[in-house]
Chains A and B, each alone.
Chain A
Amino acid sequence: MSYAAILRPIARPGLGERLIDALLSGRGIWPAVPAIIVLTVVAVIPFVILLSLGFSDIVVSRGEIASQTFSLDHLRNALTDPLYWTTFQRSLTLALSTTALCLVFGYPVAYLFLVGGRWTKRLILVLTIAPLLTSGIVRTYAWLVILGGRGVVNSTLMGLGMIDQPIRIMNTHWAVLIGMVQIHLPVMILPLIAVMSRHDSRLVEASENLGASRLGTLRTVILPLSVPGIGTGAALVFTLSYTTFVVPQLLGGGNYLNAATMIYEQVVYSLEWSKGSVSSLILMVTCLIVLVAIALATNHFTRWTRGRDA
């Protein structure tokens, strides 16, 4: 074979090959292009259309929008309506309470995962992931059975002679909070486990060798290092709790109103899409504000940790 045959120029790759090459190169935004296209089509465009309804007066004919004129009335009405303030305040309180309780209950589990043996770790992982394999609706219905007037809690308390009449737990704020914490607890535990199990275990050993107690090691070594996990878990739990629909719908009763149930009713039952659109906008903006606050706090405490490490 001649050198000319061996050294012939490599054929220029086709468009498809060049596109795949660009995607795999990791340069620029190319790897995210497929996701950006999907999100634009299924999320961004519908959301923009929905938001546009909040800033317009609509006339419908034969099921189609016949005319649409710009208006700020719906936003103004919402911002001056006490019902909106009360409802969003209730949603915010519920979401923050759920986040705090999930952290309180979830952190010890993640700590146990860090210090526990192989079987303890496996058991914790199974118990954390197993609930995620069932529908949230099914898990919420289980609480209907547990918390009802003839449910396990009331039957047990009455059987023990602690109460004469069933206490009302269902259809209260407490029922919603209990359901929310149980449903969202795995979402807090998993990021904590992911972050905490990444740490160098020699740091803990070093702390103990230097005379720190278990509590001292937890407070000065493990807790500061797990701040990114706390931040991630808190952001996820808050977002899910703040926008939740199923749990308040089933456990809160008909007079429990949070932001998501209000939007659902405005869109489906009242067919007042402009109101629903404005409510969605308020929900999104307030949610983003809290998420930014969580991100700033996480960043602040993570930097503090790094400073101490240095």
Chain B
Amino acid sequence: MKLTRRTVLGGLAATTTLSAPTILRAQTRELVMVGYGNDSDAPLIAAGEELGRRNPGVTLQVIGGLSAEALAQIKAARGNSPYDLAVMGSPAIINALAEDVLVPLDFSKIPNSQSVDPKFMPYGYDVGQPIWFEGIGIAYDTSKITAPPTTWEELWSGEYNGRIGMCRPQSNLGLGVLAATCEAFGRPQNDMTFALEKWLELEPLVGRSPPLLQQMIERGEVDLAPLWHVNSALAASAGLPIGYVKIKGPGPLMLPTNIVQFVNTADGTADLVHEFADILLTQDIQMMAGSAPIYFGTVVQGIEVSADAAPYVPSTPEELAETTSLDWPSFAPLRGNTVETFDRMFAG
């Protein structure tokens, strides 16, 4: 073949066209994370967009799902995690550590971590960065209950037998409520059999997950139930007659949510995960997370709780001082046994 200027230019154009997708792919990076799968993903998506602005070509894909399901998928993939990072509650971190699928974060690479209230940091268990928290309280149907219980112990007054809902202990909510029950009656938080026996006295209707429990209140199947404040706020924002109590003794109870990084992520991903966690702790994202309709509790010092979030999130100095969490490491590893005990006692 005779080489002319036309054939050389044509060849160059063809080569460029054919290699363009490869070049573009090399310049784009995608972080895949496990999120919530509902409105609560909004601050995560916003932080992902900011990460993309700072690092052209980087995108964040938020996949809704339970952290427990993500752990099962990673276990099925024999450690080849399909996810780079996740939002994960403290008890799920304990389970993930037992499965050895987390890479500890380097907090020196998250400058905004310095502004996090020190009382939240232990709940990342040295591997995760707390970013916000959810409260456990009592959601109730305002058309049926005018004076809701204010302490855990009041639930056993006899007034709520057969009217109350509870969540299966496979969920963090269900497990946390059982530990709170132990605490309320002066027992060690890991005395799960005692807590289940106490709940059996209440003749509860059981929800398989917090969203399904929320739906049971909405459909009028139960009058009240322990629930995340986020679920209660979402139901109330839809115009439903649902109120929420920041129940005490113990409480107000909170469960920090953390950013965690999974094993087997590609080179360079770790830096992006740290930068993403840092963005989540900025004032803008924290304010967004703390606003309607989700009202996540902020872990960053100096951010005021808005007036419309006050019914759901500890806001007064007294409430903030009393806000506490549970001794998750003492009972989170008992999840499997507790679910079995629950089924022996409740299944029918």
* Residues of A in contact with B (beta carbons under 8 Å apart): 60-65, 82-83, 86-87, 144, 148-151, 166, 168, 170-171, 173, 249-250, 253-257, 262, 265-273
Question: Bound complex: CA of A33 vs CA of B207, how far in Å?
Answer: 46
* Residues of B in contact with A (beta carbons under 8 Å apart): 66, 68-69, 71-72, 74-75, 77-81, 95, 99-101, 166-168, 170, 205-208, 212-213, 215-216, 219-221, 263-264, 335-336, 339-340, 343-344, 346-348
A63–B340 CB distance below 8 A: no
Question: Bound complex: CA of A254 vs CA of B215, how far in Å?
Answer: 13
Q: Please, which residues of chain A bring their CB within 8 A of the CB of B347? A: 83, 86-87, 255-257
A253–B75 CB distance below 8 A: no
Instruction: Report A183 CB to chain B, min CB distance, Å.
Output: 18
Question: Bound complex: CA of A256 vs CA of B342, how far in Å?
Answer: 11
- Residue of A173, A255, A268 with most chain B CB atoms under a 10 A cut-off: A255
Nearest residue (CB) in B for A248 is: B208
Main secondary structure of the interface of B (DSSP, over half): mixed
A83-B343, A170-B221, A256-B348 are known contacts. Are A61 and B75 too (CB-CB below 8 A)?
Answer: no
A61-B100, A63-B74, A257-B343 are known contacts. Are A271 and B219 too (CB-CB below 8 A)?
Answer: no
B95–A262 CB distance below 8 A: no
Nearest residue (CB) in B for A268 is: B72
Q: Please, which residues of chain A bring their CB within 8 A of the CB of B220? A: 148-150, 166
Q: Please, which residues of chain B bring their CB within 8 A of the CB of A171? A: 205-206, 216, 221
A271–B339 CB distance below 8 A: no
Q: A86-B347, A255-B206, A269-B170 are in contact. List 18 more A-B contacts (CB 8 A).
A: A60-B100, A63-B74, A63-B100, A63-B264, A82-B344, A144-B215, A150-B219, A168-B221, A254-B208, A255-B346, A262-B343, A268-B69, A268-B72, A270-B170, A271-B68, A271-B75, A271-B95, A272-B336
* 12 pairs, A vs B, C-beta closer than 8 Å: A63-B80, A63-B263, A149-B220, A150-B220, A166-B220, A253-B205, A262-B343, A268-B72, A270-B170, A270-B339, A271-B71, A271-B72
Nearest residue (CB) in B for A59 is: B100
B339–A269 CB distance below 8 A: yes
Nearest residue (CB) in B for A148 is: B219
Q: Please, which residues of chain A bring their CB within 8 A of the CB of B344? A: 82-83
Instruction: Report A228 CB to chain B, min CB distance, Å.
Output: 38
Nearest residue (CB) in A for B103 is: A62
A254–B167 CB distance below 8 A: yes
- Name the contact of B206 in the complex, choosing from A150, A254, A270 (C-beta under 8 A): A254
Question: Bound complex: CA of A144 vs CA of B81, how far in Å?
Answer: 36
B336–A64 CB distance below 8 A: no
Q: Please, which residues of chain A bring their CB within 8 A of the CB of B215? A: 144
A271–B99 CB distance below 8 A: yes
A63–B208 CB distance below 8 A: no
Q: Please, which residues of chain A bring their CB within 8 A of the CB of B348? A: 173, 255-256
Nearest residue (CB) in B for A276 is: B72
B101–A62 CB distance below 8 A: yes
Question: Bound complex: CA of A107 vs CA of B74, how far in Å?
Answer: 46
Nearest residue (CB) in A for B221 is: A149
Question: Bound complex: CA of A170 vs CA of B216, how far in Å?
Answer: 10
Q: Please, which residues of chain A bring their CB within 8 A of the CB of B207? A: 253-254
Instruction: Report A271 CB to chain B, min CB distance, Å.
Output: 6
- Residue of B166, B208, B216, B336 with most chain A CB atoms under a 10 A cut-off: B208
Instruction: Report A51 CB to chain B, min CB distance, Å.
Output: 15
Q: Please, which residues of chain B bring their CB within 8 A of the CB of A270? A: 170, 335-336, 339
Q: Please, which residues of chain A bring their CB within 8 A of the CB of B79? A: 62-64
- Residue of A60, A82, A173, A249 with most chain B CB atoms under a 10 A cut-off: A60
Question: Bound complex: CA of A149 vs CA of B205, how far in Å?
Answer: 13
Question: Bound complex: CA of A249 vs CA of B170, how far in Å?
Answer: 14
Q: Please, which residues of chain B bring their CB within 8 A of the CB of A149? A: 219-221
Question: Bound complex: CA of A262 vs CA of B343, how far in Å?
Answer: 9
Please give me the 6 A-B residue pairs with the lowest Cβ-Cβ distance, nearest first: A63-B79, A254-B206, A270-B336, A269-B170, A149-B220, A148-B219
